[in-house]
Amino acid sequence: MASHAQDTGLIASGTPFVRRTMPAAVLTVIWAGAIAVTGLWWKSTESVSGSGAWLSEAGRITGLLAGYAAPVLIVLMARLPFLERGVGTDRVARWHAMGGRYLTGLLIAHIVLIIWGYALTGGKGIMTETVDIVFHYPDMLKATAGTFLLFAVAITSARVARLRLRYETWYYLHLGTYLAVALSFAHQLSDGAQFIAEPPARLAWLALYLGAVLLVCWFRLCMPFLSDLRHRLRVAEVRREGPGTVSVFVTGRRLEKLRAKPGQFFRLQFMAPGLRWTAHPYSLSAPANPEYLRFTVKGLGDHSAAAARLKPGTRVRAEGPYGAFTAARRRSRKVLLLAAGVGITPLRALFETLPTAPGDLTLLYRASHAKDILFRSELEAIAAERGARLQYLVGRRNKVGELLTAENLKTIIPDLARHDVFLCGPEAMTATAVSALRSAGVPRSRIHFESFAF
């Protein structure tokens, strides 16, 4: 799935206006930067004559935009608190994925257009021009290596490839993005006509990349390290909750300073053999308190399965809290929580804490088998205490059919369109539920979810 945010709680609890306008404001800034980069090319290009020159200049524009996109994508995943809380982790991740596709397309266009344009201008063949550029232009050998590395990251980020990769493998391959951008950076300044002719533009470009590096270093390295020193997190207990599912209780110092809200998650790195080199996102399954944090983990991968074998006293590094899947998103008086499988984790914390009047809060919990229902006694106690409605939707789809349909949901909750809906579950369930809720008349702005799929 985001940086440590001990002193930025105002973002998560800001005004509804701020929460609604934050995504648009961030996108506006990004597009304004792209327009400024295009303006840099326009300012430094006096005239274009001939097909070779047109192709070459088109290659320069796409190269400039690709060079701009790289640090923007890095910043998007630097886990900045105002993005993680004000925009939402899953939305930022979608922007990053979409931006990665743009970057790949721009790089391909840049390479093809530059080589083609230079070949036409110099009267050379494509292969001859390619060899000449790679081996005789300043810093191009490093840039070529960086480009191949970026393409490798792009290929492994494709959905088909991701489905075949372990999360840990994908994670380490994705770290290659930093090396690829570093290898490609020098040739932008040494070969880019705009930066050779415009010293202020060169300084601005350096500042853009240096700023991205500093943000990543601070929020992805320094802040987690400082948090580790401050809170000294340790595993206190591992408790079995259901088939293949455990709750990990984490204790430490001054946990209230984390300002974690129900619905948020942390990226946890357990200092145990086989786990210490990767961090995975896990949601709080109970409201945070000064004594402990509770995370509930289902053994779906190597990392989460190994969590069941953690020993009390194991050190934990935690990045977070992250995510905007909190009560701050709520707009209506009535609220539906819709969970499937281990997706009950963040919703269980919201079920206990969302401020609602008796009768205004409903939890629907979808499970294939009754034995898969987690926190049954806790949920039933919360429902009784708060006057909330709790209903289980149990059964395998091939036996009971699809239960998350618009008709079925409206039968259970006749005034469904007047609810805010918080939903969490597997990716396929989320897509099915969103479609059903929209068909049932729930506005898209009142359907809230975050995805942790990589």
Model confidence pLDDT, tens digit, residues 231-255:
999 999 999 998 889 999 999 999 9
Looking at the fold, whether 95 and 177 belong to one and the same domain comes out as yes
φ/ψ bin of 264: left (φ > 0), alpha (ψ from -120 to 50), beta (otherwise): beta
pLDDT at residue 302 in the model? 60
Predicted confidence (pLDDT) at residue 125 exceeds the cutoff of 60: yes
Q: Summarize the confidence of residues 187-206 as an average pLDDT.
A: 87
Per-residue pLDDT tens digits for 400-413: 888 999 999 999 99
Predicted TM-score (pTM) of the model is 0.79
Residue 376: give its domain's CATH number.
3.40.50.80
CATH code for the domain in which residue 70 is found: 1.20.120
User: Are 239 and 317 part of one and the same domain?
Assistant: yes
Q: Is residue 2 scored above 50 in pLDDT?
A: no
The pLDDT value recorded for residue 361 is: 96
Is 428's pLDDT higher than 90? no
- How large a percentage of the chain has pLDDT more than 90? 61
400 and 358 assigned to the same domain: yes
State yes or no: pLDDT of 3 exceeds 50: no
Q: pLDDT tens, 310-342?
A: 999 999 999 889 888 899 889 899 999 999 988
The confidence score (pLDDT) of residue 17 equals: 58
Residue 69 lies in a domain: yes
The answer on 367 and 259 residing in a single domain is no
Judgement on whether residues 194 and 252 belong to the same structural domain of the protein:
no
- Mean pLDDT across 390-400: 89
Quick check: is 3 in a domain?
no
- Single residue among 270, 293, 322 that ends a domain in this structure: 322
Q: Where are the beta strands (DSSP E) in 272-388?
A: 280-283, 293-298, 316-322, 334-340, 361-367
pLDDT digits (tens, 9 = 90+) for 251-280: 999 999 999 999 999 989 899 887 777 788
The verdict on 287 and 426 lying in the same domain is no
Please check whether residues 80 and 201 belong to one and the same domain: yes
Q: How far apart are CA 440 and CA 290, in angstroms?
A: 41
- Give 77: exposed, middle or buried? Use CB within 10 Å, 0-12, 13-18, 19+: buried
- Which of 192, 223, 254 represents a domain boundary (last residue)? 223
- Model confidence at 43, pLDDT cuts 50, 70, 90, reads confident
Q: Are residues 181 and 316 in the same domain?
A: no
d(CA 394, CA 372): 9
Looking at every residue in the chain, the average pLDDT score rounds to 88
Band the pLDDT of 16: cuts 50, 70, 90: low
Residue 213 CB partners (closer than 8 Å, separation 6+): none
Is 454's pLDDT higher than 60? no
Residue 237's domain spans which residues?
A: 232-322
Average pLDDT over residues 369-395: 94
Is position 65 within any domain? yes
Enter the DSSP assignment of 446.
G
Q: Which of 168, 203, 223 is the last residue of a domain?
A: 223
* Cα gap 407→91, rounded to integer Å: 29
Are 238 and 189 in a shared domain?
no
Check residue 163 and give its pLDDT. Answer: 67
Q: What pLDDT, on a 0 to 100 scale, did the predictor assign at position 118?
A: 94
**The predicted structure's pLDDT at residue 303:** 61
| Confidence at residue 154, expressed as pLDDT on a 0 to 100 scale | 86
Higher pLDDT pick, 242 / 65: 65
Same domain, yes or no, for 261 and 147? Answer: no
Q: How many domains does the chain have?
A: 3
With respect to residue 4, please indicate whether it lies within any of the assigned structural domains.
Answer: no
Give the pLDDT band (50/70/90) at residue 300: low
Residue type, 131: V
Rounded to the nearest 5 degrees, what angle is found at the Cα of 384, between the Cα atoms of 401 and 390?
A: 10
d(C-alpha 380, C-alpha 401), whole Å: 26
> Is 60 exceeded by the pLDDT of residue 10?
no
Can you read off the two tokens belonging to residue 78?
């630097």
| pLDDT over 80 (residue 453) | no
Residue 175 lies in a domain: yes
Asked if residue 22 is part of any domain, the answer here is yes
Q: Which H or E run includes 183?
A: helix 176-191
CATH number at residue 252: 2.40.30.10
* Whether residue 13 has pLDDT greater than 50: no
CA 105 from centre of chain: 21
Q: How many whole angstroms separate alpha carbon 11 and alpha carbon 88?
A: 11
Whole-angstrom Cα distance, residue 308 to residue 297?
8
**Is 427 a residue whose pLDDT tops 90?**
no
| Assigned domain for 237 exists | yes
Is a pLDDT exceeding 90 seen at residue 153? no
252 and 315 housed in the same domain: yes
So what's the pLDDT on residue 452?
Answer: 58
Asked if the structure places residue 454 within a domain, the reply is no
Q: Which two tokens stand for residue 330?
A: 């709520």
Same structural domain, 186 and 243? no
Question: Which pLDDT belongs to residue 1?
Answer: 33
